[in-house]
Structure 1
């Protein structure tokens, strides 16, 4: 199949999904969400491990403001539901496979959502993580349930309020990153060698059990989607996004 925003690759029982939008800093658009979901659906039966990765210098920078600008300008805002993205992350968190976020370079906003949704996070020493939404009057409504489950309420709260990117070592100390190294590709392969020994049946039963211990993701879905829709329909927030796209200026700049 031909994909516009990702490069899927299958090796034995492992599926690699590379986010591949270099022209848009690997930002998230509707096609990316649809294509990632389609590939994950194909992984349900036989794939043991799914690896989400980006480019060498950028993992994923969150929402595509240019696409939001274009859609709203055409009067298509009603089509911009956050629910498909939340469902995609929910599938990464609860699906019948082990999910790994392999992070090199920048992960911001929705990029952190991909990271927080995965079972494991393996990173390069170049990786950095940030939640910049509040700078635009937004907040990471759909990211937070996944991030809180991953690192706890206060740490997620602090990251959201500070809006400042953190280094891979800081992310490791918070529990967002499990392991990191400058030889990150080798580190990833060592993990895959071990994880491949686990049977598909064992993975399915374990994921079903462990996700039943904490159902914050399911319980939070409607609230997160509603909050996201509200902040992205706020006229001041939309004006800030338009100004950033049109003039390259942040909302607080004169």
Structure 2
């Protein structure tokens, strides 16, 4: 499908394949990419033949989380920053509420916000070599926007431990925590097998099922407000901005110091 700059979107009925397509930047999330992910989801929901969105990443990483180049250039504009954070939260919320299934095919490195994309997905399959890391605290940040969705998958204390230690974990550990649902040498093929089973479920039932579990959990408007304020406040701290600039200046990542 045309009209996308940061994604590669291909319609292969009954799936819409959406690949994050900024490999030179490890598929880091920008305002534009988040907006395009919303548009891709709009297209999937508007097409009665599409039952699932297959989400993947081009290149060596699935997604490196927030694009620090964009974050460093925010110039202290809290309103603009909150708008971006809110748009990302809304995207993850849509993953957990829409009538199509969101399935993640994971190869390579997954960091910060990328972990949030996986946590909000309905089914996630990782290649054996995939790695996962909540690296935010190393920069003086918090995984605020994504935490509700990771807690939804893994539980409160396991999520807290991942955030506190900024530890990089392998696919086997991610599976044991419930962050991913399956490990497979060919994740996309494993997802296609999952689709054969999932396609039997009526889309209205999918939406109702997601709605039921949303009512049973903490993803709500108050959660949205708390997360947006927390992450915006931390990003704008001088110490955090200094850490981001240092990282962009090719110094060692903070977790290696």
Q: Is the 8 A contact 2:175 2:181 kept in 1?
A: yes
Matches within 5 A, 1:66-215: 66-72=69-75, 78-81=79-82, 82-215=85-218
Distance 1:69 1:100, change over 3 A: same
Query: For structure 1, which segment, 191-200 or 138-147, has the greater mean C-alpha deviation from structure 2 after superposition?
Result: 191-200
1 CA distance for matches of 2:243 and 2:104? Answer: 31
SS of alignment partner, residue 54 of structure 2: strand
Name the structure 2 match of 1:4.
5
Name the structure 1 match of 2:20.
19
Query: For structure 1, which segment, 218-227 or 147-156, has the greater mean C-alpha deviation from structure 2 after superposition?
Result: 218-227
> What is the CA distance between 1:217 and its match in structure 2?
4.6
1 CA distance for matches of 2:253 and 2:128? Answer: 29
Name the structure 2 match of 1:58.
61
> What is the CA distance between 1:250 and its match in structure 2?
4.0
> What is the CA distance between 1:143 and its match in structure 2?
1.1
Distance 1:189 1:223, change over 3 A: same
Instruction: Tell me how large the CA RMSD over aligned residues is.
Output: 1.9
SS of alignment partner, residue 94 of structure 1: coil
SS of alignment partner, residue 141 of structure 1: coil
How many equivalent pairs are there? Answer: 252
> What is the CA distance between 1:188 and its match in structure 2?
1.6
> What is the CA distance between 1:56 and its match in structure 2?
4.9
Q: Is the 8 A contact 1:146 1:217 kept in 2?
A: no
2 CA distance for matches of 1:30 and 1:80? Answer: 10
TM-score computed with the length of structure 1 as normaliser: 0.92
2 CA distance for matches of 1:42 and 1:91? Answer: 13
Q: Is the 8 A contact 2:103 2:191 kept in 1?
A: no
2 CA distance for matches of 1:103 and 1:203? Answer: 23
> What is the CA distance between 1:205 and its match in structure 2?
2.3
> What is the CA distance between 1:66 and its match in structure 2?
1.4
Query: For structure 1, which segment, 203-212 or 10-19, has the greater mean C-alpha deviation from structure 2 after superposition?
Result: 203-212
Unaligned runs of 5+ in 2: none
